[in-house]
């Protein structure tokens, strides 16, 4: 029976955008090829909206002139940029939503996973943080503190796709089934495991692996042939991905390559292929190193595009570019913290735009209009139904209930994109402090965004198109709108049985946003 997508609770017009909006003509729309296309999902780690020479804003910024990403520019010229693509503010929730179609509030993997049955949070003086699925997701029943799911890769494999995982996984904690991509629907796993960052990007350092066998959990597995060499991790992953594509071509099946780079996550180590030119630009060493991680990632993108061209695969391959959360701005970086994603406020870990708005591009020859842009907003869980629809898969069932809505109409110009609100839920302490960082939940409804803080009950209201930097809290001026959005947000969180912190002062759950009386 055909799958029915479960829609989010409230449905409003997407927006009256102040920026560009997708045109969706009723005539002359592209036709979707009948042959099952190959699909490459190129996911970058911790890449901010401005970490590129390709401007996603209406204006160029100094960051666009600092970084060098010619292959992102090349891809955008051949595809469609999405200027309001959203993800969660940290890694694991995004990756779980992507592969399940579930909002983070529903799957409850609401923070980043690592060690089995262990949370990373430190005790807080105001709140007791809620229980959550610290072990991530898996496809097996009965695994403690996980959400059982049917993964995107499993559905693609079951419908004839050859599924390849390359790079960072971060679906499940150490020693749980979800930590192994081979148990998540992938037939090939290159260097994916429980950890969300590499111990080292350097082949010379064996990517963090120790000769005595006492390697840290973050040591990257499975790339032994590059140990002791000058090969940078991003390059090693790209080489191995292309070898996997060589093997895929020997089958009679379309392929799905999930190219999930560890870059540009910490440690911020310079890729020496590009380092000197950024030092010559006058960048501080840590910023020069950061820029090399970006350029090395972009070179990987270009190498894969060249591979498709050389092997005559471009016309029947969909290429999707996305990041898992905002760029790092709360620590490690040079200069004033929380400004590295300008014009967006804050960065990774924050409920503000700098933590959740991502650079996204889709190239689909013959379907997507080259050089186009789309200003409709969409959420990371929307990738799940969209990729299945791209693959021609519409008759499927899943263990989990889903929230994602296909954005295929924004690609093809056919049909209508369902209008709705989108939600974020992060009832935790990420660790660092800064603007928008803390135990929060949020809603985007049209032009408006409400951010709620569980600790003190504060509610902030922003008109995102008019105030992209979220500098002007309009909550005091628009109490009725605050209450309306609070009601929608509270209704949604209750409908999915979202967890919330306990306030130490009252020993009661923190109020939902619509329970605040002001």
Q: With bands split at pLDDT 50, 70 and 90, how would you rate the model's confidence at 35?
A: confident
- Rounded CA gap, 249 and 353, in Å? 40
Token pair belonging to 114: 């690592």
- Whether a cis peptide bond, with omega within 30° of 0, leads into 243 is no
- Rounded CA gap, 381 and 403, in Å? 7
CATH 3.40.720.10 fits 38-419, yes or no: yes
Q: With bands split at pLDDT 50, 70 and 90, how would you rate the model's confidence at 25?
A: very low
pLDDT digits (tens, 9 = 90+) for 122-134: 899 999 999 999 9
Token pair belonging to 39: 């699909």
Q: Kindly report, as residue ranges, where domains of CATH 3.40.720.10 are found in the chain.
A: 38-419
Nearest to 468 by CA among 390, 380, 385, 375: 375
Q: What is the mean pLDDT of residues 419-444?
A: 95
Instruction: Tell me which architecture the domain covering 439-515 has in CATH.
Output: 2-Layer Sandwich (3.30)
**pLDDT over 90 percentage in the chain:** 89
Residue 6 has pLDDT above 50, yes or no: no
Q: With bands split at pLDDT 50, 70 and 90, how would you rate the model's confidence at 415?
A: confident
State how far the alpha carbon of 51 is from the alpha carbons of 18, 69, 294, in Å. Answer: 22, 9, 7
Residue 26 has pLDDT above 90, yes or no: no
Residue 228 has pLDDT above 90, yes or no: yes
Q: Kindly report, as residue ranges, where domains of CATH 3.30.1120.10 are found in the chain.
A: 439-515
Residue 183 has pLDDT above 80, yes or no: yes
How many CB atoms neighbour CB 211 within 10 A? Answer: 8
pLDDT digits (tens, 9 = 90+) for 93-112: 999 999 999 999 999 999 99
State how far the alpha carbon of 217 is from the alpha carbons of 179, 213, 221, 260, in Å. Answer: 12, 11, 10, 18
Rg (CA), the chain: 22
């Amino acid at each position: 029976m055909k799958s029915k997508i479960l829609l989010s609770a409230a449905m409003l017009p997407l927006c009256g955008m102040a920026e560009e909006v997708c045109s969706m003509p009723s005539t002359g729309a592209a036709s979707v090829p009948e042959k099952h296309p190959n699909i490459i999902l190129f996911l970058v780690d911790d890449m901010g909206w401005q970490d590129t020479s390709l401007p996603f804003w209406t204006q160029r910024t100094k960051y666009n002139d600092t970084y060098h990403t010619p292959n992102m520019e090349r891809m955008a010229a051949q595809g469609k940029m999405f200027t309001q693509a959203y993800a969660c503010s940290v890694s694991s929730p995004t990756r779980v939503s992507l592969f399940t179609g579930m909002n983070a509030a529903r799957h409850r993997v609401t923070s980043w996973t690592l060690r089995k049955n262990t949370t990373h949070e430190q005790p807080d003086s105001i709140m007791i943080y809620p229980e959550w699925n610290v072990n991530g997701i898996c496809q097996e029943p009965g695994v403690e503190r996980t959400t059982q799911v049917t993964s995107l890769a499993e559905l693609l494999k079951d419908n004839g796709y050859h599924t390849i995982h390359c790079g960072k996984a971060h679906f499940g904690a150490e020693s749980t089934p979800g930590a192994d991509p081979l148990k998540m629907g992938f037939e090939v796993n290159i260097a994916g495991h429980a950890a969300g960052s590499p111990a080292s990007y350097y082949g010379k350092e064996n990517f963090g692996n120790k000769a005595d066998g006492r390697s840290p959990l973050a040591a990257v597995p499975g790339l032994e042939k590059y140990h002791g060499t000058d090969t940078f991790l991003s390059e090693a992953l790209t080489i191995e991905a292309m070898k996997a594509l060589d093997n895929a071509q020997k089958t009679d099946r379309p392929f799905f390559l999930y190219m999930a780079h560890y870059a540009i996550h910490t440690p911020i180590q310079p890729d020496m292929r590009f380092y000197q030119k950024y030092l010559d630009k006058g960048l501080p060493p840590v910023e020069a190193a950061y820029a090399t991680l970006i350029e090395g990632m972009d070179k990987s993108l270009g190498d894969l595009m060249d591979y498709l061209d050389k092997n005559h695969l471009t016309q029947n391959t969909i290429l999707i570019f996305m990041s898992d959360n905002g760029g790092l701005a709360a620590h490690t970086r040079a200069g004033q913290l929380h400004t590295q994603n300008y014009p967006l406020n804050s960065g990774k870990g924050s409920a503000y735009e700098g933590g959740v708005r991502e650079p996204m591009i889709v190239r689909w020859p013959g379907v997507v209009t080259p050089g186009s842009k789309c200003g409709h907003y969409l959420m990371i869980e929307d990738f799940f139904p969209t990729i299945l629809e791209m693959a021609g898969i519409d008759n499927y069932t899943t263990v989990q209930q889903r929230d994602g809505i296909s954005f295929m109409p924004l690609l093809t110009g056919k049909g209508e994109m369902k209008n709705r609100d989108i939600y974020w839920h992060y009832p935790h302490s990420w660790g660092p402090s800064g603007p928008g960082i803390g135990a929060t939940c949020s809603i985007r409804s049209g032009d408006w965004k409400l951010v709620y803080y569980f600790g003190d009950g504060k509610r902030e209201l922003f008109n995102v198109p008019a105030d992209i930097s979220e500098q002007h809290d309009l909550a005091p001026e628009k109490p009725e709108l605050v209450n309306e959005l609070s009601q929608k947000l509270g209704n949604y969180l209750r409908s999915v049985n979202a967890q919330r912190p306990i306030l130490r002062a009252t020993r009661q759950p923190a109020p939902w946003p619509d329970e605040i009386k002001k």
